[in-house]
Amino acid sequence: MGCSGVEQSLSQTIANRSQAIEQDPNRDRLKKLIVYACNRVWENHVSREIDLQPLIAQMLTQYPTLDTLQDHLYALVGTLNKTAEYMRLANALLGYLAPLYAHDQLAEAGGVAVDYEAVVQRLQQDPDALRIKKLVAYACGNPWQNDATALEPISLEQLVVQMRQIAPTPQALKMVLDSVVVTLNRAQVYAAIANRVIAAFMPLYGAPPAGSSSAPDATIEGHSDIHLSESASHSDVNGGAIAAAPSLTVSGLAKKLPRVQLSMVDLYDLRLEIIKYTCPLRAKVLLFSVLRHHTEWSTQDYAMLKTIDLSALIAEMFQTYKHLEYVCPLLQERAAQLTPASDYLQACSAILRAIAPWYDSVALATGHAMTDEQTVPDLHTHTHPEQTDVQFKHGGITTMKPGHPPLRNGSTQYESA
Amino acid sequence: MNLPNILSQYAQGHTDFAGLDLHQANLSGADLIGINFTRTNLQGAQFLFAFLNRANFTHSTLINANLSGANLSQAVLVRANLRDAELHGALLCGADLRSADLTLADLMDANLMDADLRNTNLSSANLTGACLRGANLREENRRYAANLTGATLWKADLRGANLAGANLAKVDLRDANLAEASLRGADLRGADLSGANLRGAFLTDANLTKAMLRKANLTHAKLERATLVEADLASAMLMGALLPDTKLTKAHLARANLAHAQLSRTDLSRATVRQAILTGANLTDAYLARTDFTEADLRDAGLVRAELSSANLLGACLAGATLPDGTVHS
């Protein structure tokens, strides 16, 4: 194909992408984001009739690679007060524009065999395959779907390809997934799922597949934060308040959370300490009830417990709750609600006895004991009182400095039971 | 005899209910500690969270029975038929399950500590997250080994378990804890042991042909005379492991750490040992025909009488290594 042929093909692709954006339910906000990216000035009132094609062409010139475009978009999003919402829109926009960078992507791949089928297969074999599809579809810019049948027409392979185009590096993938996970009401559940998605995607980045353990072990090392301007803040026409405080990105936030690393052997020892003194199924029911807010148990509900093993639930508990002072009343209250309460209180006591030394070791390592000013949150309203990032690896305990409780930005998507 | 009768008689101290037909009986949550259900038909019975400590189920039929969360500590289940039974999160500490049929049984997160599982059939059983510390699955009189063909033991805890001679072909043992476990003469052909902890495990004479051992921890493991033909040991940790007389033909050992490992008389022909660490390893009399040692670290390794004539040593570091002719590489 000659030079004019390439230009013609590019202009056709731009026209095609422009049309796709016009059909998006969030086209007005996407247009605002495009105008912001091109002019570097936030416009609260962007004309609906604005022609996107010259703007997209300008973006291609300004940001010659998908990486640079992504970095720039994320940095801009960080200056907005609805960070999470616009992070999702930025991801959608990257999805729309990725085909324009397709040739660069191929060149960047540098001979890495891209086996989407293997990744799809691994994701489909996951016990949480449906939630994975929900999450990836949402991260690709599709609306959140509670109805599984609505997701059926969407090919998982297409989503994987799209996701890979949106996120050219593992760090970008983590950032994209993190950005959408915090908008979900079951954030801790989806955080674990996001880690498994990252692990499954590793071969697409030329890395060997990460372990499929449900314990989160897919943290990207050296993952770069987006540093945002503390002064820049903008009002959103859709009713958002002007952000007065410095914006924080999800990745920035995650870095500020305390981090504990336990070895796989430690985790198995901990599991053993629990099941030595109580029925493993009772322990699972209790932990699952606390972590997933599931209160009604019938014979059929036990099948649900087969989607996650006890060690993963223990890992998730450490990941979700930083202080024993939080875990203790939660477990005791839920145990008292389950039938028969006496058996669950016995299980509760075994769990607390086993985990207490680990929480103590974390508190000692961080020097972060609960102070008098900190109060135990209202158990009925605080689903995520404080989060701890626990990693299970071959190695000892590593605890990083204590951080802030998680902040929530943007709207929350509720998953139906 | 109907169920209310059984429960009332049990409450009065009667424990022998052998030989009854109680299929589909619902005994969920019942306290039946020490009950005798020998040769009882309990097919499809419900024992969810029942207390069955020290109960006797010898020769009983428990096909499709639901024993999830049941306490079967020290229960006797010799020759019991537990095909397709649900034992999810059940307590089976010290239970006697010799010659029991657990084909396709679900034992996810079950506690089988110190259980006797000799000659049990666990083929295609789900043992994900199960605890089998100290369990006995060893071969009986060189016959009647426990059969775990096609079983899932992902994240299972088998520390110190006796699996000598057991059939573990194609078993999923990813991330399993097999530290100090005895796997002497075990059949592990095609098994997936990726990320498994095999520190100090006994694998003497085991057959690990085509086994997946990527990133497995085999530090100080004993692997004398083991067969590891075409095994995948990429990035595995084998520091101080005992590997004399092993067959590692065509094995993949790229980036593996074999520092101070004993590899005398080992057959590493056609094996890939690229970028592996072999500092201080003993390769005396090793057969290294067409072995790929590209960029391997062989500092201070012992290569006395090793067959090195066709090995690829491109970029390998041999400083301080004792060469086949006995000279020390400067």
Residue A6 pLDDT exceeds 90: no
Interatomic CA distance for residues B232 and B208, integer angstroms: 10
Q: In this predicted structure, which of A4-18, A223-237, B281-295 has the lowest mean pLDDT?
A: A223-237
pLDDT band for position A229 (50/70/90)? Answer: very low
Shortest alpha-carbon distance between residue A232 and chain B (Å):
47
Residue A254's contacts (CB-CB under 8 Å, 6 or more residues apart) are A178, A389
Nearest CA in chain A to B129: A309
Predicted local distance difference test score (pLDDT) of residue B28:
94
Residue labelled with tokens 């194609």: B170
pLDDT confidence tier of residue B314, bands split at 50, 70 and 90: very high
* Mutation target among A214, A262, A306, A351 for the B interface, most CBs of B within 10 A: A306
Confidence class of residue A401 from pLDDT cuts 50, 70 and 90?
very low
Residue with tokens 């030079």: A3
Please report, in angstroms and rounded to a whole number, the separation of the first and last CA atoms in chain B: 87
In one letter, which amino acid is B97?
Answer: L
Residue B285 neighbours by CB distance under 10 Å: 18
Mean local confidence (pLDDT), A61-77: 78
What local confidence, expressed as pLDDT, does residue A262 receive? 63
Please report the pLDDT score of residue B252 as a whole number: 97
pLDDT reported for residue B141? 67
Which range among A181-195, B143-157, B178-192 shows the weakest confidence by mean pLDDT? A181-195
ipTM: 0.87
When comparing pLDDT for B254 and A237, which is higher? B254
Beta strand pairing call for A259-262 and A389-392: parallel
Place of tokens 């799209």: A162
Alpha carbon A275 to chain centroid, angstroms: 31
Q: Which of B157, B235, B255 should we substitute to test contact with A (largest number of A Cβ atoms within 10 Å)?
A: B157
> Is 70 exceeded by the pLDDT of residue B249?
yes
Predicted local confidence at residue B143, as pLDDT: 67
pLDDT band of A87, cuts 50, 70, 90: confident
pLDDT at A114: 66
Note the pLDDT of residue A415: 43
pLDDT band for A363, please (50, 70, 90 cuts): low
Q: What does the alpha-carbon distance between residue B201 and residue A309 come to, in Å, rounded to a whole number?
A: 25
Among A176-185, A265-274, A348-357, B89-98, the minimum mean pLDDT is found in A176-185
Query: Considering only CB atoms, which chain B residues are within 8 Å of A284?
Result: 89, 109
Can you name the residues that pair with A178 across neighbouring β-strands?
none
Structure-token pair, residue A187: 């954030």
Q: Check if B285 contacts A (Cβ < 8 Å).
A: no
Cβ distance of B155 and A213 shorter than 8 Å: yes
Q: Could you tell me which chain A residue has the CA closest to the CA of B67?
A: A281
From chain A, the residues in CB contact with B66 under 8 A are 299
Whether the CB-CB separation of A46 and A31 falls below 8 Å is answered with yes
pLDDT band at A273 (very low <50, low <70, confident <90, very high): very high
CB B48 within 8 A of CB B26: no
Residue B129 gets which letter from DSSP?
T
A320 versus B270: which is more confidently predicted? Answer: B270
B226: confidence class by pLDDT, cuts 50, 70, 90: very high
- Give the gyration radius of chain B's Cα atoms: 25
Residue A259 confidence class, pLDDT cut points 50, 70, 90:
very low
Distance separating alpha carbons of residues A295 and A280, to the nearest angstrom: 18
Q: What is the dihedral of CA A183, A188, A193, A195, to 10 degrees?
A: 100
Compute the distance between CA of residue A331 and CA of residue A310 in angstroms, rounded to an integer: 15
A223 pLDDT band (50/70/90 cuts)? very low
β strands within A131-258, DSSP E: none
Instruction: Find the mean pLDDT for residues B18-25.
Output: 95
Higher pLDDT, A110 or A75: A75
- Average pLDDT value for residue range A352-375: 60
Of B89, B106, B133, nearest to A284 by CB-CB distance is B89
By CA distance, what is A283's nearest residue in B?
B89
Cα B109–chain centre separation:
16
Round to whole Å and give the CA distance between B107 and A23: 51
Facing A310 at nearest CB: one of B49, B109, B215: B109
Contacts of B104 in chain A (CB under 8 A): none
* Contact check, Cβ <8 Å, A268/B157: yes
Under 8 Å between Cβ of B89 and A279: yes
CA distance A28 to B107: 54
* pLDDT of res. A225: 30
Residues B196 and A213: their CA atoms lie apart, in Å, by 11
Q: What is the pLDDT of residues B106-136, one digit of tens each?
A: 999 999 999 999 999 999 999 999 999 989 9
d(CA A335, CA A279): 14
Smallest Cα distance from A268 to chain B, Å: 7
How would residue A382 be classed by pLDDT, with cut points 50, 70 and 90?
very low
CB B75 within 8 A of CB B57: yes
8 A C-beta contact, residue A171 and residue A224: yes
Cβ-Cβ contacts under 8 Å between A and B: the total is 86
What integer is the mean pLDDT of A16-21?
84
Q: In this model, does residue B93 exceed pLDDT 60?
A: yes
**Contact residues on chain B for A272, CB-CB shorter than 8 A:** 113, 131, 133, 157
CB atoms within 10 A of CB A386: 20
Q: What average pLDDT does the segment A230-252 reach?
A: 32
Segment B34-39 mean pLDDT = 97
Whether A319 contacts A191, CB under 8 Å: yes
| CB contact at 8 A, B98 and B78 | yes
Mean per-residue pLDDT, B36-53: 97
In which band, very low, low, confident or very high, does the pLDDT at A365 lie, cut at 50, 70 and 90? low
Q: Between the CA of residue A219 and those of A133, A196, A366, B292, what are the distances in Å?
A: 20, 10, 20, 33
Confidence of residue B306 (pLDDT cuts 50, 70, 90): very high
pLDDT, one tens digit per residue, over A325-356 is 888 999 999 999 998 999 999 999 999 999 98
pLDDT of residue B324: 92
Q: For residue B214, what pLDDT is reported?
A: 95
Mean pLDDT of chain A: 69
Q: How confident is the model at residue A13 (pLDDT cuts 50, 70, 90)?
A: confident
Decide if B68 and A280 are in contact by the 8 Å CB cutoff. no
Distance of CA B91 to the CA centre of its chain: 20
Distances (CA, A) of A215 to A229, A246, A308, B215: 35, 33, 10, 17
Query: How far, in whole angstroms, is CA B53 from its chain's centroid?
Result: 26
> pLDDT of B185-196, one tens digit each?
999 999 999 999
Question: What is the pLDDT confidence band of residue A143, given thresholds at 50, 70 and 90?
Answer: confident
Residue A251 predicted with pLDDT over 60: no
- Given a cut of 50, is residue A267 above it in pLDDT? yes
The DSSP secondary-structure symbol of A243 reads: P
- pLDDT of the residue at A243: 30
Model pLDDT, residue A56: 87
Q: Is the per-residue pLDDT at A142 higher than 80? A: no
d(CA A403, CA A385): 13
Higher pLDDT residue, B136 or A39? B136
Average pLDDT over residues A388-403: 34
pTM above 0.95, yes or no: no
Give me the helices (H) in A280-321, please: 280-292, 310-320
Does residue A279 surpass a pLDDT of 50? yes
The answer to whether B89 contacts A281, with C-beta atoms less than 8 Å apart, is yes
Question: What are the backbone dihedrals phi and psi of residue A149, each rounded to the nearest 5 degrees, phi first?
Answer: -65, -30
Q: Is the pLDDT of residue A373 over 60?
A: no
Q: Among positive and negative, which fits the CA dihedral A164, A168, A174, A179?
A: negative
HSE-up of residue B51 (Cα within 13 Å, Cβ side): 9
Q: How far apart are CA A78 and CA A230, in angstroms?
A: 10
With 0-12 / 13-18 / 19 or more C-beta atoms within 10 angstroms meaning exposed / middle / buried, residue B312 is middle
Residues of A with a Cβ under 8 Å from any B Cβ are 208, 211-213, 264-265, 268, 271-272, 275-276, 279-284, 299, 302, 305-306, 309-311, 340, 343, 394
pLDDT exceeds 80 at position A235: no
**Contact residues, chain B, for A218 at CB < 8 Å:** none
Calculate the average pLDDT of chain B. Answer: 94
Tell whether omega for the bond before A340 is within 30 degrees of 0, i.e. cis: yes
Q: How confident is the model at residue A210 (pLDDT cuts 50, 70, 90)?
A: low
Residue range B250-264: average pLDDT? 96
